[in-house]
Amino acid sequence: MKILSALLFLPIILFSQNNKVYFQRENDSMISYKDEKNNYIIKPFISLGYLDSIMPKKKEIFDDFFYIHPKGKSNYAVDRKGNFLFYPFYFDNSPDYINENYLRIKDEKGKVGFANKEGKIMIKPKYDFAEPFRMGFSSYCNGCYFDRKKDEEHPPLSGGKWGFIDKLGNEISPSNFPQNHKDFKTENGKYIPYQFSYNDYEKSLLKKLEKFKSLISEQNIFGDVNFNFEIISRPSKENPFYFIKIFRKDLPHYFSSDNDDAEGFSFYIDKNENILLNHLVMEDGGKSWHYSLIDIKNWKLN
């Protein structure tokens, strides 16, 4: 139990990392990134990132990828070795949130695609716009544009042809009739097939999590809102957990509007079938933070 307890408080992303990265403040306006041997991963540059301006002088970076905000250039993402990955897709004035293990990205032409939480491009940018993944699928459009003549601050999408893709980038053809009660009904009355399937062992894991529904509902103040669980990803060499998300019932659909690290909305199950969840840990008087895993039995928001 002592070993397990110690393990639970490690940041989740440590399991996929084998090299340390440190944020380094060179002076008031310049920052850099270094490895554990003090070699530069990203040489000193003037950063326009707000968070960079309030970071401690030196701090370890746990993320699989991070964003660079250089003066006079477009912001971009790099891996832990400093290699360029992609340009960010901005949502609410910030790079897109990770949802169902995917986030939206852009290429140099402004086309939209998807990368996973490790920063690997899973669906190459080729769309003019795409929605976040929900229930295992995304909607996209080509030929559409944001009509700023109608609203400069919150322009609506106009024109174009819409379609649907799964997490492999395959086109989804909506059907006229539902085959599963969890099929998604589109605005034009068509149905997107339910995207998840499980073996008997995975079904047993979901049933085990179901036993904590009352606790989850109470902590999240769901009230009478119905919700269920779906497995988003399975154990791999990089990550030893089943990753599971809450999908709340909003008639006639199930949906998850919460990003993947939202406390109390995402869960992890390890090889010993311990159920864990993200817990926000504040540091440096609230100036920095990270998520750690705790056992669901020890979970209290307040």
Residue appearing with tokens 């990828």: 65
Does 262 map to a domain? Answer: yes
Does 244 map to a domain? Answer: yes
Q: How many CB atoms lie within 10 A of CB 284?
A: 11
Predicted local distance difference test score (pLDDT) of residue 253: 55
Longest dimension (CA), the chain: 62
Cα(172)–Cα(123) distance, integer angstroms:
14
Structural tokens at position 136: 């295992």
Which of these, 77, 38, 33, lies nearest to 52 by C-alpha position?
33
Cα(146)–Cα(154) distance, integer angstroms:
9
Kindly give, in sequence order, each residue whose CB lies less than 8 Å from that of residue 235, ignoring residues fewer than 6 positions away.
Answer: 241, 242, 271
Cα(73)–Cα(88) distance, integer angstroms:
13
Does 220 map to a domain? Answer: yes
Structural tokens at position 103: 């986030």
- Low-confidence spans in the chain with pLDDT less than 50: 1-10
Strand 145-146 vs strand 90-91: parallel, antiparallel, or unpaired? unpaired
pTM for the whole structure: 0.87
Predicted local distance difference test score (pLDDT) of residue 13: 53
Please state the three-class secondary structure of 56-77 as a single string. Answer: CCEEEECCCEEEECECCCCCEE
SS3 14: helix
Does 227 map to a domain? Answer: yes
Write out pLDDT tens, residues 254-282: 556 577 887 788 999 999 999 999 887 77
Predicted local distance difference test score (pLDDT) of residue 3: 35
Predicted local distance difference test score (pLDDT) of residue 14: 52
Structural tokens at position 40: 């530069």
Instruction: Read off the DSSP letter of residue 11.
Output: B
Domain count along the chain: 1
The full DSSP string for 129-151 is: EEPPPBTTEEEEEES-EE-TTT-
Residue-range definition of the domain harbouring residue 251:
196-302
Write out pLDDT tens, residues 106-116: 999 999 999 99
Does 157 map to a domain? Answer: no
Which of these, 244, 253, 246, 241, lies nearest to 215 by C-alpha position?
246
Does 33 map to a domain? Answer: no
